[in-house]
Structure 1
Amino acid sequence: MAISTRPSQWAIPLGVSLGVPIGLYITFILLGAFPFFQRHFLYAHRINTLFWHNLNKPEYWGFARNQVTPFSLTTVDEETIYAWHILPLPTYVRHEDKLQAQQPGFSDDITKTASFKLLKDDPEARLVIYFHGNAGHIAQGFRSESYHTLTDSSCYHVLAIDYRGFGKSTGTPSETGLLHDGAAAVDWAMHVAGIPASRIIIMGQSLGTAVTSAVAEHFALQGVEFAGVILIAGFSSLPTLLSSYAAAGFIPVLSPLRLIPPLLRFFQSFIVDKWKSADRLAHVVSLTQTRLRLTFIHAKNDLEIPCHESDALFKSAASAIIHEDLDDDSFSSWKELRTLRRDDGTFIATATGDPDIVIREELVPYGGHNEVMMSAAVSLAVMRSFGLDASSS
């Protein structure tokens, strides 16, 4: 009896169904080897809702009239960076009549506005400088909600920026460029608004944690120490992250290549912007002369950046305290002695050192990659950084 050599009726559909995604993945990886495409994939800065959202009308996102003042900053390399200054509502309500009378919308000279004067003329004003993640613009998605969380019932002003190439900002994003953007925000806060670093927190989420780490190191080299440095859903370095990162929570980047380590290292070598946050934060710790409050917050259910990335950041920073590069097992034992574990698998780890250094890592149960920004852990980290906890009273 002859044996049929015809392919199974399922073979062709199966081959197509497997071949298409594999082909797309290979195309994506090959395009990512070129800096132009790589930066578009990484920063996703062209994906935004500017076509139907007017950033100069913050009331759309639930802010009071003139609670937010849109304006622009200029970087050292002459890029124009779009920014929001957001007033805390307790301050707003005390000066509501004056603020209601202010001309709304974008300010060509923010120093002439009532909102700016409420920041500059208050000797106790505290400022959170917020660096957002990739894609979108300054108010896209959950970002406006995170500003509300920080300002609705607190005394904190917020300064948020769109990096170069994002939203209404000029230029094209790169690691060096985003560092310039972050430094411009801090320089504006200290030298235009007159807020000392001791009353400034720099905070980042996702990609913004890399910007925050770079900015913290940049100013630590100048002897500047902030009230706090807070990183939410951070990562140790971009090459390390991409070996486990899933875009949108399910689209792998380099993780399939982990089965072939030499091939993984080969493609990692093409990554242009390294964003070595772990190394930078260790340097910040080593440069600290007076005080440092460094906080890592991550959600256990973060599907985009795995929470072990914050473990790596904590290890790097804490190792700079103990001046010893412990192996993984030794460090785990050291960390366990300084960890409070909860029955839901979350924890708080705290490392302290001299002069006055407190490094804290908190794993929270919920919030995913983005909504974790609205968790109480973030607001509490701000309070501790500003010295409002019991241990600082």
Structure 2
Amino acid sequence: MPPYWAAALPVAVPLAIYVLFLALAANPFFQRNFIYAHRIQTLWWSDVNLPQTWGFAKNQVTPFSLTTSDHETLYAWHILPLPLYSKHENELSAQSSGFSPNIEESFNFKLLSEDPSARLVLYLHGNAGHVAQGWRPSSYHVLTETSTYHILAIDYRGFGHSTGSPTEKGLILDASAAVDWAIHTAGISPDRIVILGQSLGTAVAAAVAERYAGQGVDFAGVIMVAGFSSLPTMLSGYAIAGWVPVLRPLKAWPWLLQKVLGFVVDKWESKQRLRELVHAVKARGGRLRLHLVHARNDWDIPYHEDDKLFAAAVNGTVDGADGMDGMDPDILAEQKEQRTVRKGKDAFVTLWKDGDVQIRQELFPSGGHNDIMTYAPVTLAVLRSFALDGTAEP
């Protein structure tokens, strides 16, 4: 091999691999596999129909399925709050375990549907894996061990045991199916439902909340943890685990970056959806509790993405927001600072109120991209949404 080839190889090989990756990512099939990573999962050696494996009490969790409007079958977990489970432990543990072909016949469902004060958290997870993968069970434990909240956690189409393949439109239909099941099958009123999304799940949460707001439906709260303003914007600066850049090398050539971003199939424009959500709720005098939570040390999605989401949501309070650019950025920044409480070098809370619309942004100093789901800010956001934080204000 000529000397110049040997010298060029360390640069040429990585460059060729990167170009190949970009070429594959331009194809919708490969792109969605990269983005949703739904094939990266542990079902080969984990049985999600045995929730005790992840530390739950016997039959505290009911695995079941629900059907979407386009006839996909979604795998789901209904998780009982542990204090409620303890009151009925003998009857619950006497039931048969495993997947429930008809959850409506279970005692677990009865405890949810026949309790007029039952509160439900609809849990929308991020990309990759399934309902029980990684740290997700730990976050369920945190929310249910000492509270009265039920959890409904779903696997989107193509994830885990769910049928189909993921698309933006499809995942919105999946979350809508979960909401419809909660309201119409379980009989839980929207004011007793919190939509909680993490990472990719924040985009799903924003979309489903905006969809139902247009129908006059107000949920107890919408909580977005480690969110992003839009998928193309996020990808332009995204690095896997904070170390492996995806499109960041192309920033040196803006025209090329924009051309590549033009191939993104599923846009997930959460920024615009939040603006429309807030505007719709305010226009009809509805109630909204929107929480944006991010860890300062999130190396997957930069925390400043929440600044964009917050600004968009606040601009939704401006009259005629659908056809205007919103507040002047400098004025918004000044007013935001006036509403901000600093809680340390890398932590703050901003609360923006407009009538019965409340937009709360919290930056927490630790928690990374995933562990933050088990930290106090998320639990407090649920408490505040349900007006159970000890304050007089609902």
TM tier, smaller: over 0.9
Structure 2 letter corresponding to 1:343: G
Which shifted more, 43-52 or 315-324?
A: 315-324
Structure 2 letter corresponding to 1:349: T
2:339 maps to 1:338 = yes
* Cα pair 1:206 1:234 within 8 Å, conserved: yes
Which shifted more, 318-327 or 83-92?
A: 318-327
Query: Aligned ranges for residues 360-375 of structure 1 at < 5 Å?
Result: 360-375=360-375
Structure 2 match to 1:85: 78
Larger of the two Rg values belongs to structure: 1
Give the distance between the partners of 1:28 and 1:330, measured in 2 at CA: 42
Structure 2 match to 1:307: 303
C-alpha displacement at 1:380, in angstroms?
0.3
Which shifted more, 341-350 or 318-327?
A: 318-327
Deviation per CA, 1:276-329, whole angstroms, max 9, x where unpaired? Answer: 001011111011132100000000000010001111000000111244623433
Structure 2 match to 1:381: 381
Task: Please provide the CA RMSD for this pair.
Answer: 1.3
Structure 1 letter corresponding to 2:150: H
C-alpha displacement at 1:115, in angstroms?
0.5
C-alpha displacement at 1:30, in angstroms?
1.1
* Cα pair 2:349 2:362 within 8 Å, conserved: yes
* Cα pair 1:321 1:352 within 8 Å, conserved: no
1:97 to 75, 79, 90: 90
Query: What's the secondary structure of 1:99's corresponding residue?
Result: helix
Structure 2 letter corresponding to 1:160: A
Give the distance between the partners of 2:346 and 2:215, measured in 1 at CA: 40
Structure 1 match to 2:146: 153
Query: Aligned ranges for residues 155-174 of structure 1 at < 5 Å?
Result: 155-174=148-167
2:232 to 226, 234, 239: 239
The percentage of aligned residue pairs carrying the same residue is 56
Structure 1 match to 2:11: 18
C-alpha displacement at 1:78, in angstroms?
0.2
Query: What's the secondary structure of 2:256's corresponding residue?
Result: helix
Deviation per CA, 1:44-98, whole angstroms, max 9, x where unpaired? Answer: 0000000000010000000000000000000000000000000000000001011
Calculate the TM-score normalised by the size of structure 2: 0.95
2:102 maps to 1:106 = no
Query: What's the secondary structure of 1:294's corresponding residue?
Result: strand
C-alpha displacement at 1:14, in angstroms?
4.7
Give the distance between the partners of 1:258 and 1:332, measured in 2 at CA: 26
Which consecutive residues of structure 2, in runs of 5 or more, have no partner in the other structure?
Answer: 320-324
Give the distance between the partners of 2:81 and 2:228, measured in 1 at CA: 30
Structure 1 match to 2:322: none
1:130 to 116, 120, 123: 123
* Cα pair 2:318 2:327 within 8 Å, conserved: no
Deviation per CA, 1:241-293, whole angstroms, max 9, x where unpaired? Answer: 00011123222111111111111111111110000001011111011132100
Which consecutive residues of structure 1, in runs of 5 or more, have no partner in the other structure?
Answer: 1-5
Calculate the TM-score normalised by the size of structure 1: 0.95
Structure 2 match to 1:194: 187
